[in-house]
Amino acid sequence: MAAENQAARSPRSGSAAPGGTAPRYRSLLERIFRAGVAAVEPARLVRSRLLDGASLRLRIGAKRTLLLEGRKIWMIAAGKAAIPMARESARLLGSRLAAGVVAAPRRPRGLPRRVRGFAGGHPLPNRGSLEAGRAVWALLRRAGADDVVLVLLSGGASSLLVLPAPGITLRDTLATHRLLLRAGATIAEVNAVRKHLSRLKGGGLARRAGEARVVCLLLSDVIGNSPSVIGSGPAAADPTTYADALRVLSRRRILDRVPARVRRHLERGRQGKVAETLKPGERRTWNVVIGDNRVALAAASAEARSLGYRSQILTASMRGDTRVCARRFAAEIRRRARRGRRPICLLAGGETTVDVRGKGRGGRNQEFALVLAEELAGFRRIHCLSAGSDGRDGPTDAAGAFVDGSTAERAARLRLEPHAFLERNDSYGFFRRLGGLFRAGPTGTNVMDLKIVILGRLPAKTSRSLLRQPAAGNP
C-alpha cells in the first residue's frame, strides 16, 4: 500500500463501541439527519403555501396566488406524508373544505368527518389502496367548474392510491409491481408501466376532475422533482406512452412473465385501441413542489456547520445501482480522508436501486452501508450514516445503518463476512448481528435518502453535553 494511504489507515478506528460507531459520533450523525428531516416536515411546508390572511390564498408560484374564498375545495391526499399534510390543510381550510380522501400507510386519525381515510399498502398496494382509489374516483365526480381540487402528494402515493384500468385487477397490478421491483427497475420505469395500468395515474385524476381547478402540492421523493413521476403523476401530463411501458418490461426481461391481461392491455394501448394518458397541453393543472431532498440536505449541512464542521453537499442526485454508487462514494471519502485536513461533514442525497438476487432482508441504505464497510476498512476517524428520510429502509424496521473504519474488522472477529451477506442481500442480518442498525421510527415525511459522513476529530465547538448523549438508534 502507498505510504500516503498508511497515514489514513490504522488497525484501530478510534473509539468505536462494541455495537458499532462510537456513541458520540452516532449522536452527531443522528442529529444532522434529524435536522434535515425536520426541514421537510409536511405540515410546515403546507403552511408555507396556504396563506390565511384577510382571505385564504394558495401560493402556486413565487409571485402568484390562487384565491380560495367562495370556492368549494375537494381534498385528496396520498403518500407517506398524507396524514400531516391533510390535517394541516383541513385545519387551515376549515368550512371551505367540502370533502376529502386520504390514503396513507396507516388509517388516518384526527381529520374532519367529511374526510374519508384509508390504510393503503406500501411498497405494494393492498385492498385499502384500491378502496381509496374508488373513493377518489367517486369524489371527483362531485367537483364543479368553480371548485378547486387540492391534491397533496408525497412518496408512496403510487402504491397507496390505486385504481386499475378497466380489465386489469389488483392482483394483476401486484404481480407486475413485484416483478418490476425484483428486476431493479428505476422509479421512472416503474411509473411508466403503472401509469398505463391505471385510471388515476398519468394525469387520470386531473381528467376525472373535469373543469375544476386542480392544484397539486408535492413533497418530492424523486430525482429531478418531475410532477409526472412523483406519485405517478395523477395531476400531471405524462410524456411516456404504452410503447414505452412495453419497452420497460422487455428491457427488464419480464414481458413474458407479467399477467396476460397486462400484456393485452398495453398492446391494445400501443395500437391506439385504449386512450393514452394525459398529454402536455391537454389540460391545465398546477403542480407545485413544496419540499425535496435538496431542502433536507441544506438543513443538514447547516446543522453540521453549527456543530463546528465544514460542510459540503456532494450531490442530491445519487442514482443507479446501490453497490456501484456506494463504491464511488467510498472512493471520494477515501480521497478526502487522505488529505488529513480539519474536520468536515460530507452529505449526499438521492435514491439508488438494488438488484435483489438473494433471499435476505435489507434495503438500499443498509446495503449501501455494507458496501462502505468493505470499502472503508481500516480508515481512521470516518463515521457514516446512510438512511431513508421516511424512517424505513426496505421491508425492515430500520431506516439505515451506521458504519465506520472499524466495521469490517469487528465483523471479522465475529466471523461475519460482508461479501457473503451482500450476495444474499442480507444487509439487515449483518448489521443486526454486528450492531449498527439505525432505527429512526416513522418520520412522517419522505424525500429519498440522506448519506452523512463525518471526517476527522470532533470539533472543539461541539459541547461536552452532546458527547455524553447516548448512542443514536438501537443496535
The domain that holds 414 is classified in CATH as 3.40.1480.10
Q: Are residues 20 and 87 in the same domain?
A: no
Going by C-alpha positions, the residue among 71, 123, 61 that lies closest to residue 97 is 71
- What's the grid cell of residue 164? 386499475
352-373 pLDDT, tens digit per residue, is 988 888 899 999 999 999 999 9
Is 113 a residue whose pLDDT tops 80? yes
Distance of CA 306 to the CA centre of its chain: 26
Q: What angle do CA 25, 30, 33 make, to 5 degrees?
A: 130
Looking at the domain assignment, is residue 411 inside a domain? Answer: yes
CB 414 within 8 A of CB 20: no
Q: Are residues 300 and 213 in the same domain?
A: no
Q: What is the 3-state composition of the chain as percent helix, strand, coil, each rounded to the nearest 5?
A: 40, 20, 40
Is 472 a residue whose pLDDT tops 60? no
Looking at the domain assignment, is residue 424 inside a domain? Answer: yes
Q: Are residues 359 and 237 in the same domain?
A: no
Q: Are residues 420 and 399 in the same domain?
A: yes
Question: Residue 341 has what DSSP assignment?
Answer: -
Looking at the domain assignment, is residue 186 inside a domain? Answer: no
Q: Are residues 281 and 303 in the same domain?
A: no
The range of the structural domain enclosing residue 66 comes to 42-163+198-241+276-291
Q: Are residues 234 and 380 in the same domain?
A: no
Q: Are residues 287 and 297 in the same domain?
A: no
- pLDDT at 380 (0 to 100): 84
Q: Are residues 377 and 304 in the same domain?
A: yes
262-285 pLDDT, tens digit per residue, is 999 999 999 999 999 999 999 999
Q: Are residues 146 and 214 in the same domain?
A: yes
- pLDDT at 463 (0 to 100): 53
- Residues 206 and 200: their CA atoms lie apart, in Å, by 8
Secondary structure (3-state) at 17: strand
Looking at the domain assignment, is residue 468 inside a domain? Answer: no
Q: Is the dihedral of CA 55, 60, 64, 70 positive or negative?
A: negative
**Element of type H or E holding 375:** helix 364-375
Domains contained in the chain, number: 2
* Average pLDDT estimate for 122-126: 88
**Element of type H or E holding 268:** helix 260-270
Q: Are residues 282 and 308 in the same domain?
A: no
| β 344-353/449-455 pair status | antiparallel
Q: Are residues 128 and 139 in the same domain?
A: yes
- What's the grid cell of residue 169? 385487477
> Domain holding 46: CATH number?
3.40.50.10180
Is 466 a residue whose pLDDT tops 70? no
- Where is average pLDDT lowest: 59-63, 134-138, 166-170, 439-443? 59-63
284-322 pLDDT, tens digit per residue, is 999 999 999 999 999 999 999 999 999 999 999 999 999
Average pLDDT, the chain: 90
Q: Are residues 234 and 312 in the same domain?
A: no
Looking at the domain assignment, is residue 463 inside a domain? Answer: no
Q: What angle do CA 10, 303, 322 make, to 5 degrees?
A: 60
Looking at the domain assignment, is residue 68 inside a domain? Answer: yes
Secondary structure (3-state) at 209: coil
Looking at the domain assignment, is residue 254 inside a domain? Answer: no
CB 227 within 8 A of CB 287: yes
- pLDDT at 457 (0 to 100): 82
| Contacts of 288 by beta carbon, 8 Å cutoff, 6+ apart | 49, 59, 60, 61, 215, 216, 217, 218
pLDDT band at 12 (very low <50, low <70, confident <90, very high): very low
* Average pLDDT estimate for 94-111: 95
Instruction: Give the chain's length.
Output: 475
Looking at the domain assignment, is residue 461 inside a domain? Answer: no
